[in-house]
Structure 1
Amino acid sequence: MCVVPRASSLWSVTQEPHVVSNTGERTVSRRSIDAAWADLFPFDPYPQQTDGVEHVLSVCRDRGYQLLEGACGTGKTLIALVAGAQLIEEERVDRVMAVTPVKQQLKQFVTDLEAINEHRTERDPIDGLVMVGKRDMLPYARVGTLPGEDGVQAASSELHETTAALIRRDATHELAVQPGDVNGRINVCSAPDCDRLSYASDACPDHRDDRETDASWYDPVRAAALCHLASSLDGPRLETAGVNAPYPESPPHTRDVLVNPETAGPDTGHFDPFYARFFANEEWVPFGFSEAETNVLDSETIVRAAVSRGMCPHEAMASLMGAADVLVGNYNHAFDPVTRQLTDEKAGVLDSGTMLVVDEAHMLEERVRDLLSETLGMHSLRTAHKDIALAREYLSGTGGEPGADPSAHRREAQSVLAEFNGVDQTSLRAGQEFIEWLLRAMSEEVSELLREEHADWQRQFREGSLPEVDHEIPLRDPQAVESDRLTDAASEAFDGGIWREMKTVGAAVAAVHDNDSQTDRSPVAAGVGQFLNQWGTVDTGTYFREIEVEYAPKPVEDTTLPDWATAYNGALSLYNCIPRDPLAGVFSDLAGGVLMSATLEPFDVYRQVSGLDRLADASDGTDATDDTHRVATTSYGLSFPPENRASWVVDLPPFTYRNRGAPVTDYEEMTGARQAHAGALVTVARSPGNVLLCLPSYAEAEWAVEYLTDIVSKPVLRDRSTESDATDAMLDQFFQNDGTDRVLVTSARGTVTEGVDYKGHRLHTAAVVGVPYANTANPRMKAVMNAYDQEFDAGGFEYAVQIPAVRKARQAIGRVLRGHDEVGTRLLLDRRYHSGAPRSVAALLSTDRTEFSTVSPDMLDFALDQFWS
């Protein structure tokens, strides 16, 4: 019998992490493991996997969080999934939600979950569901026939609003159907002398009594009738995911399905019959997890099953989420406040019964920082101003369509505003004046910037010589905690509470518009008011306020816009510098979980910046309570044979901005530091097999490509910050197994150094040039460092810049060895990775630091030859 060690109680910053070093151990027979979870494993696990599962179970049974650092080969996804499945069996959790920012890792979760189910012959299969966004799930978005030029979110919302108006129980639109249609479910009104269709009810909307007020908002028979009409329309059918839908390939229009289309008013437009079918089925999905052979529903399976039945795949996915055992998605599903409306409020799957698995958790802080940051564009401000103006017209009795009763509009608007304490004509006028002031202030800031950066920018723009770059306008010193000049100026021009008042004003204006039936406007006032309220109230150290200026040339005919609007977009920006508290809030609401990556250490820093230290009561080391969560740490080193790899720090000068000088390709014109690195890059590029070279930035990567192309006989590929399709095509070229070795040059801060699988023949050597620090001259980065300075005892540079940079380097060199039979070299080209060097970062290499030895530049060629021979 194999005796598996149990996890010790590891608490916040009071204990050393549990560390297991692996050097190619054999697997452990499942039959020899005395644990209930053993038969969940699809194969005989490695020792670190048995150890890892036991650690996760021990911690999560206490509703705690396990920090798991494991090199490639640890099997982190299987550890988390097997432990989660066992906790579901024990009824300690209701479900597992696994989130990852990397598509490749999302596929790995699905693959491992399918493997568990294929092996799981004596138990019911685990029901799995992959959560994806609307772009991949909405049929008309998939085939590119959404109406208008707006994005998927806006266009689909428009379709759904029109659909909802057509299928509402109190809708008065007459659909062009007969009483016998839709399987005879359509009724005629039972009121005397009324021949209107009543659909699922006994009476039409004009003759219904109060007994029907508690019914759902939609009429399933109206919805079925709408689908029936859509399926009867002529034209080619929509085809996607290998199946045909019963509806046309483009969204149908209300004029195609209404008896009197001209009376539809604001409800006129295209609608979505797939969305209607979901309600025609009374929110019942006609397929389940068995639709997939392995009970894991991915996006393509859901789309095929739903579209062939005429139902919306996105609504089907949302409906099935609550029944899934394991949910797999991206960070947005757990941490984005907007996306959480789907996972949390609608499906109810983020609660105290959910175990959370965070993959590639070293990215968490950076990604959530972006998710919690918000912008408000000039166009939205102008639209909100118009929203308020129209609401004021209703209140004054001058609003409404021609021929409408303005007094009725006034009474309705007054009735709505009565529900908002203190909102009247005066406060609405003040809101308009405040937005006008904001627009002027923004315009002045942008104009001043352009005068400073590009003295004669209008001429440059006309001639096509204006640099196509974006700008930031910081509104305060990013290295100080102080109020910004826009907020200060607003306080002088208006009452200091105007920012807070805008939230109520915006909500009231939106309610007036929503209550009015003669406009098809989608008011933005509520969202704008919410943003302005945040601007005036959130912490000045946590949020950095600035104006974003995006280069976006376009024809502008509106003379009320500033002149720079022809070349730029302007937006207010609330940038979240330190997401510690929001993260802690998410973690505290759940049943514990696993945060895992190949690069999490130093653990004490990670606990602080992720907010986990706020969950753990580390004062006395006792068991966790309802208000605290146990936080434990575990590390696993490389499990592959050490003789299959060489790991070196090359003793080169620091490759810093100051040392390296201009990125010239003439060797004689280079600084000494650049010459030294150029020579090392040639040596590494000429080594056997495919080589990945990671420079500190894309600009430096461009230099390396230009320098190496004429010197190295291998093809040199250039990775740029481009769309994912271009990156995928470039990687396909690099991965070709055609007997030709290649060199791929990229940024260590790019996308191909994390989450991309370079297994087998794909990669033999990875080298990181310098320490890939973020640009600390950037105002946002300065604000982030300042926020960390204020929040933690250690310096902001270490927490916000240095540690993330070394994690980037560790991720890059981790691309090389992906299996027990693979051979490769890992190089760090900068002496700062050596423990004795000035400004050394060696201590941050974690378990990797014991792997690396130092080699001089003049011996690098010899060392590589010796290893590969």
Structure 2
Amino acid sequence: MADTAGHERFFPYDEPYPNQRGAMDRIANSLARGQDVLMEGAPGTGKTLSALVPALAHARDEDRTVVITTNVHQQMRQFVEDARAIAREEPIQAVVFKGKASMCHLDVGYEECRSLKETTRSLVEAERDRKELAERSDALLDDVRAGEEEAAEARTAVVDELEGLEEEIEELEAANVCEHYRANLTRNTDEFREWLFEDVRTPEEIYAYADERGLCGYELLKEGMEGIDLVVCNYHHLLDPSIREHFFRWLDRDPSEVITVFDEAHNIESAAREHATRTLSARTLEGALAELDDADDSRAESARNVIEAFLTGLERAVDDALGFGEREQVGEEWHDLDIANDDRRDDLTLGFLDAYEGDGIDAEIDLALQLGEAIDEAHEEAYRRGETTTRKESSTLQAAGFVADWMGKGTDSGRHPMAAVRRDRGTDEVYGRAELYTAIPREVTEGLFDEVAASVLMSATLRPFDVLSDVLGLESPATLAYGLEYPEERRRTYAVEGPALFASDRDDPKTQATVAETLAGVVGVTPGNTLVFFPSYAEAERYHDRLSLSDTYLDEAGTPTEALRQRFVDADGAALFTSLWGTLGEGVSFDGDDARTVVVVGVPYPNLSARLEAVQDAYDREYGDRTSDAGWRYAVEIPTIRKTRQALGRVIRSPEDFGVRVLLDKRYTRAARDMGKYGVRDSFPPEERDELIDVAPEKLQFAMLNFYADLDAYDGDPPTP
């Protein structure tokens, strides 16, 4: 076992937080055993350094690289600050990596970039060969003049080769090349690597450095990552298997030489689903058919048989799934349609099989794939030679690949066939797409966690650990849980014995009156700002409009939140109304008076949908032998409570901080334990459950008033309830 005593040399501050030293020791020991770690820690308790410090020490001892990743932008910035602090104490080589799209100087897509690089590299290599041949020709000419008989024949061969090379260079110069990447290949870039590791550089800094010098910062960064200590990146680089393979190659590391650290790890489940899910729109199918019209190839008829029938099946399935008047209500966002059947294949597949009139689906799919690859190679060559200004991708290849997956994997456990529709803004036409939805994320994550040396997954809301291990495919991880270590007398958490806000009861006038009066009282006695989370944006808007408060802010779906957040925190005594499923419920700090009180109104279950039902069904099949009602618990209850706990964590962010958390729904109280699965109090971890204080709606503001007054939180006299 590696020596773990020296890992604190990577700790950049004077003293660890309470429990931080113990967490670092336990993680160090787990990494030495090659054991994964699940760590839950309350907000502001130093989880990042608890994981990063022992991981860097282990990587230094074992010649490995640490990859720390998040899907929250604010956390990415925090990682950079922590890495810079570490580098000031213990020399490390660290980079912050973003995808090509955010660092490209030409703003081209992945395939265009790949083609540009290949052409540019060929041009530079040809120019180098030309220079070498020219030097050889000059040397042979000297030999000819010196009377060497064999030199003349050799020089003739070299001159012939030079002439051929000149023609090749002329063609390449007329093609599409990237001058930034060309500069990388033709200039001395040693200075970049020195500059890169003088500090922890952000992608924005690298872009500016390279742009000023006419270089490609993205490619320079990739070349500078070999064998480094630390990489900061987003989930995308680890959860997408094909990208991960390239990423580890840029690191010059086998997976077994990589330690991964996932922040906000409660989000891995949904992120993994997104990476494993595939879609194909009717527009791509139509593009493939148009492409086949221009294809002078014997395989085109077979490809058309498959693609045309699949398009027909999609159109029929969409038409059948749309209810009366539903088509007219379709907007520009994708609207899900359920096409699955309990006792037979889905409606799209049935429509496809009914429309298909070829000589054999599997054989013709293979021919369509072959033709699609040939067309794609032709597009590549045309772009490389400069015959087109953009690098087209073969719609036939995309369509055939999707149909192959749909027919081959559509009945796999954990896969769920779906369709969706949206309205074309330009033509006003409603068109569909097929989606092979992945309900069980371990299909993506299990391979990753198996192949790397070890992983640390951290969040303020990971428990129950056994469920997370099941869902992600982790084998016997070490588990650590640290509650809020700040003084308990500086916080209160109230479970309000108000109405149970089931969706069917939310329109009840008495219910609305109780909720509105309770919220008005909360805001009125809070010495600072109040954050209020609702199950949906519609409910947030309802109570924002209903309460006649002097300073309120409404977060609306699809609108940027940072400017709104800044206006809110700059205010005093304001209230912000938002959805718990929005972007302000996690990964965003509200310190001190920025948010003294946080309220979660209702139990914010996600909307019941075909997608969620598919996850429930998959979990019931996969884990039903381990626990009763696995689908509901794994897919609905636990994610909802995690979201609720994340929202509660927006207040009390430091030992000096204080505040109140309110759960406004009787399903959080002791009285709801007779409500079966709808009583959620027991879903909270024990120490958080023990802090819940049941209170009647009309007494809440008095309890809060006494709490804040005891802390001398008011400027002047306390407010009058």
TM-score of the superposition, structure 2-length normalised?
A: 0.85
**Number of the residue aligned with 2:463:** 601
**Number of the residue aligned with 2:33:** 62
**Number of the residue aligned with 1:551:** 423
**Number of the residue aligned with 2:239:** 335
Does 2:219 correspond to 1:315?
yes
Partner of residue 401 from structure 2, selected from 530, 555, 566: 530
Displacement after TM superposition at 1:188 (Å): 8.5
**Number of the residue aligned with 1:757:** 589
**Number of the residue aligned with 2:365:** 502
Distance 1:79 1:454, change over 3 A: closer
Does 2:690 correspond to 1:850?
yes
The count of corresponding residues between Structure 1 and Structure 2 is 669
Distance 1:694 1:350, change over 3 A: farther
1:259-270 correspondence runs (5 A): 264=174, 267=175
SS in 1 for 2:703: helix
Does 2:699 correspond to 1:859?
yes
Partner AA of 1:530 in structure 2: G
Partner of residue 674 from structure 1, selected from 512, 532, 537: 512
Q: Larger deviation: 525-534 or 680-689? A: 525-534
Query: In the alignment, is the contact (CA less than 8 A) between 2:38 and 2:458 conserved in 1?
Result: yes
1:220-231 correspondence runs (5 A): none
Distance 1:476 1:378, change over 3 A: same
User: 1:140-168, CA deviations, whole angstroms, 9 ceiling, x for partnerless residues?
Assistant: 44xxxxxxxxxx53xx6436535643552
Partner AA of 1:859 in structure 2: K
User: 1:267-309, CA deviations, whole angstroms, 9 ceiling, x for partnerless residues?
Assistant: 4x6x431122233359x6642264354x312112322332233
Displacement after TM superposition at 1:757 (Å): 1.1
Does 2:667 correspond to 1:804?
no
Alignment RMSD, CA only?
3.3
User: 1:23-66, CA deviations, whole angstroms, 9 ceiling, x for partnerless residues?
Assistant: xxxxxxxxxx9921122212211341111111111111111111
Displacement after TM superposition at 1:513 (Å): 5.1
**Number of the residue aligned with 1:236:** none
1:451-470 correspondence runs (5 A): 452-454=324-326, 457=328, 470=334
Does 2:103 correspond to 1:137?
yes
Displacement after TM superposition at 1:352 (Å): 0.8
Partner AA of 2:70 in structure 1: T
Does 2:74 correspond to 1:108?
no
Distance 2:219 2:78 in 1: 25
Distance 1:138 1:743 in 2: 41
Query: In the alignment, is the contact (CA less than 8 A) between 1:501 and 1:533 conserved in 2?
Result: no
Distance 1:698 1:843 in 2: 27
Distance 1:697 1:443, change over 3 A: same
Query: In the alignment, is the contact (CA less than 8 A) between 1:768 and 1:809 conserved in 2?
Result: yes
SS in 2 for 1:717: strand
Distance 2:172 2:239 in 1: 46
Distance 1:761 1:39, change over 3 A: same
**Number of the residue aligned with 1:126:** 92
SS in 2 for 1:168: helix
Displacement after TM superposition at 1:605 (Å): 0.9
Distance 1:292 1:353, change over 3 A: closer
Distance 1:507 1:321, change over 3 A: farther
Displacement after TM superposition at 1:818 (Å): 0.6
**Number of the residue aligned with 2:192:** 287
Displacement after TM superposition at 1:117 (Å): 1.6
Displacement after TM superposition at 1:773 (Å): 0.6
**Long gaps (5+) in structure 1:** 1-5, 8-32, 142-151, 194-200, 209-218, 223-257, 396-424, 458-464, 556-565, 617-630, 662-669
Distance 1:503 1:350, change over 3 A: farther
**Number of the residue aligned with 1:19:** none
Distance 1:107 1:435 in 2: 46
SS in 2 for 1:296: coil
Runs of 4+ with deviation above 6 angstroms: 258-261
SS in 2 for 1:375: strand
SS in 1 for 2:86: helix
Query: In the alignment, is the contact (CA less than 8 A) between 1:499 and 1:535 conserved in 2?
Result: no
Q: Larger deviation: 651-660 or 353-362? A: 651-660
1:486-501 correspondence runs (5 A): 486-492=348-354, 493=356, 498=361, 501=364
**Number of the residue aligned with 1:561:** none
SS in 2 for 1:735: helix
TM-score of the superposition, structure 1-length normalised?
A: 0.71
Partner of residue 586 from structure 1, selected from 425, 429, 448: 448
Distance 2:65 2:229 in 1: 5
SS in 2 for 1:648: strand
1:470-489 correspondence runs (5 A): 470-477=334-341, 480=342, 482-489=344-351
Distance 2:394 2:645 in 1: 48
Displacement after TM superposition at 1:640 (Å): 0.8
Distance 1:451 1:73 in 2: 49
Distance 1:513 1:751 in 2: 39
**Number of the residue aligned with 1:820:** 655
Displacement after TM superposition at 1:509 (Å): 3.4
Distance 1:635 1:313, change over 3 A: same
SS in 2 for 1:355: strand
Distance 1:171 1:289 in 2: 26
Q: Identity, % of aligned pairs?
A: 31
Partner AA of 1:55 in structure 2: R
**Number of the residue aligned with 2:24:** 53
Distance 2:94 2:445 in 1: 25
Partner AA of 1:787 in structure 2: A
**Number of the residue aligned with 2:619:** 788
**Number of the residue aligned with 2:712:** none
Considering fraction of residues, name the structure with more helix: 2
**Number of the residue aligned with 2:115:** 161
SS in 1 for 2:271: helix
Query: In the alignment, is the contact (CA less than 8 A) between 1:318 and 1:342 conserved in 2?
Result: no
SS in 1 for 2:434: strand
User: 1:179-209, CA deviations, whole angstroms, 9 ceiling, x for partnerless residues?
Assistant: 9xxxx8894895999xxxxxxx98757647x
**Number of the residue aligned with 1:73:** 44
Does 2:491 correspond to 1:645?
yes
**Number of the residue aligned with 1:10:** none
Distance 1:300 1:52 in 2: 33
**Number of the residue aligned with 2:435:** 573
Distance 1:503 1:127, change over 3 A: farther
SS in 2 for 1:640: coil
**Number of the residue aligned with 1:635:** 481
User: 1:611-664, CA deviations, whole angstroms, 9 ceiling, x for partnerless residues?
Assistant: 11xx34xxxxxxxxxxxxxx1111001011111111111111211101212xxx
Does 2:186 correspond to 1:324?
no
Distance 1:451 1:606, change over 3 A: closer
Query: In the alignment, is the contact (CA less than 8 A) between 2:496 and 2:696 conserved in 1?
Result: yes
Partner of residue 278 from structure 1, selected from 184, 207, 210: 184
Distance 1:259 1:505, change over 3 A: closer
Distance 1:487 1:126, change over 3 A: same
Partner AA of 2:622 in structure 1: E
**Long gaps (5+) in structure 2:** 142-157, 710-721
**Number of the residue aligned with 2:563:** 729
Query: In the alignment, is the contact (CA less than 8 A) between 2:120 and 2:181 conserved in 1?
Result: no
**Number of the residue aligned with 1:719:** 555
Distance 1:466 1:475 in 2: 17
Query: In the alignment, is the contact (CA less than 8 A) between 2:227 and 2:251 conserved in 1?
Result: no
Query: In the alignment, is the contact (CA less than 8 A) between 1:601 and 1:844 conserved in 2?
Result: no
Query: In the alignment, is the contact (CA less than 8 A) between 1:490 and 1:496 conserved in 2?
Result: no
Displacement after TM superposition at 1:720 (Å): 1.7
Partner AA of 1:117 in structure 2: A
Distance 1:643 1:276, change over 3 A: same
SS in 1 for 2:19: helix
Query: In the alignment, is the contact (CA less than 8 A) between 2:316 and 2:351 conserved in 1?
Result: no
Partner AA of 2:555 in structure 1: D
Distance 1:431 1:85 in 2: 52
User: 1:421-442, CA deviations, whole angstroms, 9 ceiling, x for partnerless residues?
Assistant: xxxx3x5422211111222222
Q: Larger deviation: 492-501 or 64-73? A: 492-501
Does 2:492 correspond to 1:685?
no
